Structure 1
C-alpha cells in the first residue's frame, strides 16, 4: 500500500485532534472535520471499535479523504465498566467534562461510601480505525490501566485526564506534560498498532 500523504482526523474534539496530529508521522498533511464543517455522525455502535468505524466511514465518505477516527473512553470497574462508550455523553450536550467527572464521583459514592480509601481500577480504551472511501484499511484497539484519583488534579490534557492515575505513576494524566502522557496512554498504544498502515 502506498504511503498515506493526506489524512482527515475524524474528531470534533480539540484535545483529541491535537494528540492524534502530534502522534502522526510528520509527512502526513492533516485536515480537521471543522475545515469541512462536519458534525459527528450518530454513534450507535456497541463497542469502541464499532463507533470508531462509524466515524471514519462517515467522514471519509463526506470528504473523499482517507479518514482516521478514534473512539475512546474510560471504563471504571466499580461502575460496571461505565461510562465506557458513553464517556463523552456523560459531559452532556456541551461536552462539559467537569460535569462528567462529578457524575463519576457521585456514582462511586453511591456504590461505596469509602471508595476513596480503596484502589478503584479503571482503564482508558482507544479504538482507531482508518477508512478509505469504500473500505476499512485497519482497526485496532489500545488501552492503559490505572486507577481513579480521589480528586481531579491538573489542568493538562482533556476529558477525564484529571481523575485518571496510570498504573505505577504518581501523577494523573491531567498533571502530566503532554509528551509524557503520549508515551504511555491508550491512544499511543493503539497508534503503535496502526502505524504500519500510515
Structure 2
C-alpha cells in the first residue's frame, strides 16, 4: 500500500477477542478472495466495537449463530462466530456448552480440568473417549431475499488422559490425546493442532460460504 493510502474498510468480523482465532481465520482466507486484504479487512470484535453477546443457547450451534447474528446486525458486516467445548462420552456429552464454567467460575481452566479428572477417576481407560467440538457460524446483515447464514461443525476425537501433559494450549488441552496420536493437545505445536483441531475443521467447512459472502 502506498504512503498516505487509506486503510481498506473491514469486510468481515470474527466475533472474538482471541487473536489466535483471528490469525487462523486470516490464514484460511488468504488468497481465497481476490482483492481482499485479510490483515486489514478481516477483523475482530474490538476493531469495530461489536457487542459482547450472552451465550445462553443449549447447543454450540445456537450459541455460535446467536453471536454471529448479533454482530452482523450491530456492524452491518458479515460476521463469523464460534462456540466450542469438550464432550465426554460417559458423561453424555458433558461438559459440552458448560466446558468453560464446569467448576463454577467462568474460564477457570485449572479448576475445570481438575474437577473433570476427579469425576472420571474410576472410569477405565477403554471408556475415556471424548472429543473437542466446535460450531462455526456465518451471518450476513439485513434480511429478506439476500439474507443468508450457515453453520458447520468440527470435531477432534480422542481419549482423556489421567493427568495433564504438556505446556501449550489452554482449557482441557493437557488431558485430551487426539485419536491416532501419542501426545496431548498441549504437546502439539500451534500448526500441528490447527491442522486437526475441531475449530480448524469447522472453519474450513464454513470456508465456501464465507468466500461466497465476500465475493466482489
- TM (norm. structure 2) is 0.78
1 CA distance for matches of 2:103 and 2:52? 16
1:126 equivalent in alignment to 2:138 = no
1:175 aligned partner: 187
Deviation readout 1:126-147 (Å, 9 max, x if unpaired)? 1111111133432111112111
Cα shift at 1:117: 4.2
Task: Give RMSD over aligned pairs.
Answer: 2.2
* Among 95, 100, 108, the residue aligned to 1:83: 95
Cα shift at 1:122: 0.3
1:7 equivalent in alignment to 2:24 = no
Q: Which runs of no fewer than 5 residues in structure 1 stay unpaired? A: none
Which segments of structure 1 move beyond 3 Å, counting only runs of 4 or more?
Answer: 12-24, 36-39, 91-94, 116-119
Q: 1:20 to 1:164 in 2, by over 3 A?
A: farther
Q: 1:139 to 1:74 in 2, by over 3 A?
A: same
Deviation readout 1:118-168 (Å, 9 max, x if unpaired)? 450001111111111133432111112111122111222222211111101
Matches for 1:33-48 after TM superposition, within 5 Å = 33-48=45-60
1:108 equivalent in alignment to 2:120 = yes
- Kindly tell me the number of residue pairs found equivalent between the two proteins: 190
2:214 aligned partner: none
Q: Which runs of no fewer than 5 residues in structure 2 stay unpaired? A: 1-9, 212-216
Cα shift at 1:81: 1.1
SS at match of 2:185: coil
Contact 2:174 2:186 in 1 (8 A): yes
Whichever of the two has the greater Rg, that structure is 2
Contact 2:82 2:136 in 1 (8 A): yes
Matches for 1:24-173 after TM superposition, within 5 Å = 24-25=29-30, 27=36, 28=38, 29-90=41-102, 92-109=104-121, 113=122, 115=123, 117-134=125-142, 135-173=147-185
Deviation readout 1:6-50 (Å, 9 max, x if unpaired)? 211112345444444443335432211223454531212111111
More strand by share: 1
Cα shift at 1:102: 1.2
- TM (norm. structure 1) is 0.85
